[in-house]
Structure 1
Amino acid sequence: MRAALARLDRMAKKISTEARKKDTHEKIQLGGLIAKAGLRYEKRALLLGLLIDGASRIKADDAERRRLLEIGEKAFASDAD
C-alpha cells in the first residue's frame, strides 16, 4: 500500500513538473513575440494596454482580425527567409 502511494505521489509530481515546464516554455515564446514586434523596452502597462485593446478589436471586427493575422504571418514568413 505504501509503495503504491509513493508511486502515485511521484506520478503527481512528474505531471506537475511537466505542466510547469510547458507553462514556462509558453511564457518564453510569448515574451519572444514582444521582442519580435520591437516592443522589448516598452513599459509593461503599455504592452498590456495594447493587448487588451487588440483583444477587444479582434472580437468585434473580423476584418481587423484578418488584417492583423496577415501582418503577423508576413513577419513570421520573413524570418524563414
Structure 2
Amino acid sequence: MTNFNTDIETFDDSAFSVFKTRWGTYAARDADGKGLCSGLDRDSVIFWAREHLNGFANSTAHTRNVTMKGDMLK
C-alpha cells in the first residue's frame, strides 16, 4: 500500500493550497483543483501562486537584445 502525504496548507481564505509532491518539490492548486505552479522552494511557490491568482500584479518582465536575422522576416 502506498503512503500519501496529507500535509496540505491552505492560504488566503482557501483561495489556493500548497503541498509537497512525491518528488520533493512543492505544488500549488487553486480552490477548483487546477494547478497553478510548482517549484523547489515552498515560499516561491506561495509567491507565484498568489501572482497567478492576482493576475501578476506585482511582477514585471523586461525583454532586451531582440534580433531577427535572415529568412525569419519573410
TM-score interval, smaller chain: under 0.3
Question: In proportion to residue count, which structure has more helix?
Answer: 1
TM-score by length of 2: 0.27
Question: In proportion to residue count, which structure has more strand?
Answer: 2
Q: Which has the higher contact order (CA 8 A, sep 6+)?
A: 2
